[in-house]
Chain A
Amino acid sequence: MKEQEILIIRNLSFGYEKRREILSDVNLSLKEGEILGILGASGIGKSSLLRIISGLEVPKEGEILFEGRLLNKNNLIIPPNKRGVGLVVQEKALFPHLTVLENVKFGIKGSKSKKHDQATYFLRLLKAEKFKNSMPNKLSGGEQQRVAIARALAPQPKLILLDEPFSSLDMNLRVELRLETKELLKRTNTACIIVSHDLDDVSSFCDKAARLENGQLKEIST
């Protein structure tokens, strides 16, 4: 069966107030379960692109189609909480007043038992089940990042956006978590866009790669 294109971005441009355009005429497409890596220097607009896809920023121009649904058209903008796109940021952003399990349960819809089972399942997949009752501040940086990824994947989004997810980890942990996350994405057939400034992150993790330069995305060979 031919793989469906899950995300299509056409002629997207974006700029913050009083600043020049940082994204101009960006085009990309992503198939189900496909992993795209975006490379580029700091401040070039990689994170902004993820924020636009997740609905946290509004583009100036262009279209975003996700699962065949137009996410933005003129005044109609689907808010981030209605998009079903997962996001993991470098800062992890775990809710400090909730336990690990409660954090992962947070985005899951359904009955109590479904929330519990699904959250535990994803924690197990990310080898984080043993500290499910801990508070986030008791965990190491790597453990926190495992929980952040589990939390983003637990509602089973079709697309997950990873913003420099491994950059704060030491090399061994980075390699280990990269492998485990990739395996999990493939197992759940979740499409993913990862932005990083590290070539290793992209070459070992992604099916295809692109470089963001002068506001435009250029596909490169991995």
Chain B
Amino acid sequence: MGMLSFSQLFWRLVTSAFFLFFIVPVIFVLTSLFADFNDNWNHLINFVLTGYVLNSFYLIVGVSFLSLIFGVGTAWLVTRYDFIGKDWQEWALILPLAVPPYILAYTFTSLFDTYGSANEIIRFIFSTSDDYTFFPNVRNLYGAILVFSSTLYPYVYLTARVSFINQSRTLIESGKLLGLDDKSVFFRLALPMARPAIVAGLALVVMETLSDFGAVEHFSVQTFTIGIYRTWFGMYDLNTAMQLSSLLLIFVAIFLIIERLERNKSSYSYAGSTFKPIKRIKLVGWKSYLAFIFCFTPLFLGFLLPIIEILNWAINYTSENFFSNNFLSSFFNTVFLGLLAGIICTTFAFLFNFIKRFEKGFFLKSISFILSLGYAIPGLVLAVGIIQFFSILDNNFIRSYFEFILTGSIFGLLLAYVIKAYALANNSIESGFRRIDRTVDDVSLSLGTSKLKIFFKIHFPLMKTSILTSLILVISEIIKELPATLILRPFNFDTLAVTTYIYAAEERMFEAATPAMMIVLIGLIPIFFLSRIIRESRPGSR
């Protein structure tokens, strides 16, 4: 078709520049695979690589298994049955999402170590000797599996629940008429129909587990991310660290593809026009209590237990820390960075989706799709790529012209945050745009309105909620981010996550409680919005 107009060309340049900054760090990481493999690989292959791979594998298998039990089990119970506490458990089950795995890991060790609170309580109750240990050691692979499953199962719960809710009563009743009992209805009908949704949720759990650095480091589980970190900061070998990162990235990409494919398929279990909401069975007596305990267990492990412990420490032992300079500066740094990244992500998401509405080209569609995959890149891998990208920019361009270097500046952090959180902003802005019918644009144009006026007078006012949602989601995500922040932050620039990490690494748990509590509190904001949606999302409750 025709040539591009000046404004089209301008916006293509802006979007391409944004895309370039986004993609270059990842390309740097991947191209390292084509560089020489140095002698450190001998050491890695002979002594540690098998351990990294196996530990990561065992961790994924364990976390997947437990997350499936927690996530699918609870989703089925709250959808299909009525039991004590079901109404509040239905939305409360997503609360663990507000607790990052590394914070849960810190509270777990403080609770279950030999002289942790849980063992102290047992010793007090049963008046046993001072060295009596009731709870098993959690600083190992099993502890890590429990920690990841307890905070990440809500991804499976959310997708499975939506799928179960959308399964029509007619289907379940047909199954029963064909001779299925309750158990068979679950295993032979509900579960296979919900499989794509469950796999999509599970892929997210796996990606988060593979990306983690804080929890596995605290539990001394030698996974792939630990391997990258040690190669970089222990062997001082950035190139090998990048090569290891490439392997991790390829592995994550496989799960990303699985998630995308299954997410597209998940609509097949959804209801058609003959939809009738599933009828719940009332559980009485011990069955009701059993269902309650089953749902309460992951909620207790993933949310209540750490919250109680952190609140106890923060309020009873270190309440004065809320006013300390250290806490306040890391709080403001975090909010400042979160807000800045939120504004950048939201602005670009708005811009991309606005242009996409009027331009039907393959170019924008593909860029937008690639940008929305950034969330899957592990923070540590991003940090490796950004450091390499910035040092090349510094050495070849920046230093020659400015008295400033990019490496170690706030820009690296911002870039990492924008790449990680862009998908969140894009999701809420995209769904906001989807709610505005395209005929509104057509009619506006036929009334002689310019695109700029449509942007400001129609889209912007109609999208205020989406913009706010996007900002909140990005901020709450960034506040939790640890590995990229730890590596990319400027000297003496602490965030809440870094402060928590440093205190916990020094086993100063009481001090770690103040920033940890703030991270959880801010993380709870979008979770409460989400839980409100959950409460209103059941067909028939609208």
User: What is A's interface to B at a CB cutoff of 8 Å?
Assistant: 51, 54-56, 58, 74-77, 79-89, 91-93, 95-97, 106-107, 109, 148, 151-152, 155, 161
The answer to whether A107 touches B462 (Cβ under 8 A) is no
Residue picked from B2, B439, B440, B457, most chain A C-beta under 10 Å: B439
The answer to whether A93 touches B447 (Cβ under 8 A) is no
Contact of A86 with B447 at beta-carbon distance under 8 Å, contacts A54-B442, A91-B437 already known: yes
Chain B 438-497 residues near chain A, CB threshold 8 A: 439-440, 442-451, 457-458, 461-462
Smallest beta-carbon distance B377→chain A, Å: 32
> Which residues in A have their C-beta under 8 angstroms from that of B45?
none
The answer to whether B439 touches A91 (Cβ under 8 A) is yes
Once bound together, how far apart are the Cα atoms of A70 and B195, in whole Å? 57
The answer to whether A107 touches B1 (Cβ under 8 A) is no
Once bound together, how far apart are the Cα atoms of A151 and B439, in whole Å? 14
The answer to whether A80 touches B462 (Cβ under 8 A) is no
The answer to whether B447 touches A106 (Cβ under 8 A) is yes
Q: List 18 A-B contacts (CB under 8 A).
A: A51-B442, A81-B444, A81-B447, A81-B450, A82-B448, A83-B446, A84-B448, A85-B446, A86-B447, A87-B442, A91-B437, A93-B439, A95-B462, A97-B458, A107-B449, A109-B448, A152-B446, A161-B446
Once bound together, how far apart are the Cα atoms of A93 and B445, in whole Å? 12
The answer to whether A81 touches B449 (Cβ under 8 A) is yes
Give the tally of cross-chain contacts (CB within 8 A): 75
Contact of A56 with B442 at beta-carbon distance under 8 Å, contacts A75-B3, A93-B437 already known: yes
Q: Which residue of the partner chain, among A55, A148, A151, A155, contacts B445 with CB atoms under 8 Å? A: A55
Query: Which residue of chain B has the shortest Cβ distance to A85 in the bound complex?
Result: B446
Query: Which residue of chain A has the shortest Cβ distance to B461 in the bound complex?
Result: A97
Q: Which 4 pairs from chain A and chain B are nearest by CB?
A: A107-B447, A75-B2, A87-B446, A93-B439
Contact of A81 with B2 at beta-carbon distance under 8 Å, contacts A96-B462, A97-B461 already known: no
Chain B 1-47 residues near chain A, CB threshold 8 A: 1-3
> Which residues in A have their C-beta under 8 angstroms from that of B461?
97
Once bound together, how far apart are the Cα atoms of A85 and B442, in whole Å? 11
Once bound together, how far apart are the Cα atoms of A83 and B446, in whole Å? 7
Smallest beta-carbon distance A103→chain B, Å: 10
Once bound together, how far apart are the Cα atoms of A96 and B439, in whole Å? 12
> Which residues in A have their C-beta under 8 angstroms from that of B442?
51, 54, 56, 80, 87, 89, 93
Query: Which residue of chain B has the shortest Cβ distance to A154 in the bound complex?
Result: B447
Smallest beta-carbon distance B120→chain A, Å: 59
Contact of A95 with B445 at beta-carbon distance under 8 Å, contacts A74-B2, A75-B2 already known: no
> Which residues in A have their C-beta under 8 angstroms from that of B447?
81, 86, 106-107, 151-152, 155
Smallest beta-carbon distance B361→chain A, Å: 11
User: What is B's interface to A at a CB cutoff of 8 Å?
Assistant: 1-3, 437, 439-440, 442-451, 457-458, 461-462
The answer to whether A54 touches B1 (Cβ under 8 A) is no
> Which residues in B have their C-beta under 8 angstroms from that of A95?
440, 444, 458, 462
Once bound together, how far apart are the Cα atoms of A81 and B437, in whole Å? 18
> Which residues in A have their C-beta under 8 angstroms from that of B462?
95-97
> Which residues in A have their C-beta under 8 angstroms from that of B448?
81-82, 84, 107, 109, 155
Once bound together, how far apart are the Cα atoms of A109 and B449, in whole Å? 10
Once bound together, how far apart are the Cα atoms of A74 and B450, in whole Å? 23
Residue picked from A58, A76, A97, most chain B C-beta under 10 Å: A97
Smallest beta-carbon distance A155→chain B, Å: 6
Once bound together, how far apart are the Cα atoms of A83 and B440, in whole Å? 17
Once bound together, how far apart are the Cα atoms of A93 and B436, in whole Å? 9
Once bound together, how far apart are the Cα atoms of A44 and B446, in whole Å? 23
Smallest beta-carbon distance A48→chain B, Å: 12
> Which residues in B have their C-beta under 8 angstroms from that of A151?
443, 447
Query: Which residue of chain A has the shortest Cβ distance to B2 in the bound complex?
Result: A75
Once bound together, how far apart are the Cα atoms of A81 and B445, in whole Å? 5
Once bound together, how far apart are the Cα atoms of A106 and B437, in whole Å? 17
Contact of A54 with B446 at beta-carbon distance under 8 Å, contacts A74-B2, A75-B2, A93-B437 already known: yes
> Which residues in B have their C-beta under 8 angstroms from that of A51?
442
Smallest beta-carbon distance B380→chain A, Å: 42
Smallest beta-carbon distance A173→chain B, Å: 21
The answer to whether B443 touches A87 (Cβ under 8 A) is yes
The answer to whether B445 touches A80 (Cβ under 8 A) is yes
The answer to whether A58 touches B1 (Cβ under 8 A) is yes
> Which residues in B have their C-beta under 8 angstroms from that of A74?
2
Smallest beta-carbon distance B360→chain A, Å: 8
Once bound together, how far apart are the Cα atoms of A81 and B451, in whole Å? 9
> Which residues in A have their C-beta under 8 angstroms from that of B449?
81, 106-107
> Which residues in A have their C-beta under 8 angstroms from that of B450?
81
Contact of A77 with B2 at beta-carbon distance under 8 Å, contacts A97-B461, A109-B448 already known: yes
Once bound together, how far apart are the Cα atoms of A161 and B447, in whole Å? 12
Residue picked from B440, B447, B448, most chain A C-beta under 10 Å: B447
Once bound together, how far apart are the Cα atoms of A81 and B450, in whole Å? 6
Query: Which residue of chain A has the shortest Cβ distance to B451 in the bound complex?
Result: A81
> Which residues in A have their C-beta under 8 angstroms from that of B457?
106
Once bound together, how far apart are the Cα atoms of A79 and B358, in whole Å? 12
Once bound together, how far apart are the Cα atoms of A161 and B445, in whole Å? 13
The answer to whether B445 touches A79 (Cβ under 8 A) is yes
Query: Which residue of chain B has the shortest Cβ distance to A109 in the bound complex?
Result: B448
Once bound together, how far apart are the Cα atoms of A74 and B442, in whole Å? 23
> Which residues in A have their C-beta under 8 angstroms from that of B446?
54-56, 80-81, 83, 85-87, 107, 152, 161
Once bound together, how far apart are the Cα atoms of A97 and B447, in whole Å? 17
> Which residues in A have their C-beta under 8 angstroms from that of B440?
93, 95
Smallest beta-carbon distance B163→chain A, Å: 31
Contact of A106 with B444 at beta-carbon distance under 8 Å, contacts A58-B1, A75-B2, A97-B462 already known: yes
Smallest beta-carbon distance B441→chain A, Å: 8
Query: Which residue of chain B has the shortest Cβ distance to A148 in the bound complex?
Result: B443
Once bound together, how far apart are the Cα atoms of A77 and B445, in whole Å? 14
Contact of A93 with B2 at beta-carbon distance under 8 Å, contacts A81-B448, A106-B449, A107-B449 already known: no
> Which residues in B have their C-beta under 8 angstroms from that of A75?
2-3
Query: Which residue of chain A has the shortest Cβ distance to B436 in the bound complex?
Result: A96
Once bound together, how far apart are the Cα atoms of A89 and B447, in whole Å? 13
Once bound together, how far apart are the Cα atoms of A13 and B34, in whole Å? 51
Smallest beta-carbon distance B183→chain A, Å: 47
> Which residues in A have their C-beta under 8 angstroms from that of B444?
81, 95, 106
Once bound together, how far apart are the Cα atoms of A93 and B447, in whole Å? 12
Once bound together, how far apart are the Cα atoms of A85 and B446, in whole Å? 6
Once bound together, how far apart are the Cα atoms of A121 and B3, in whole Å? 42
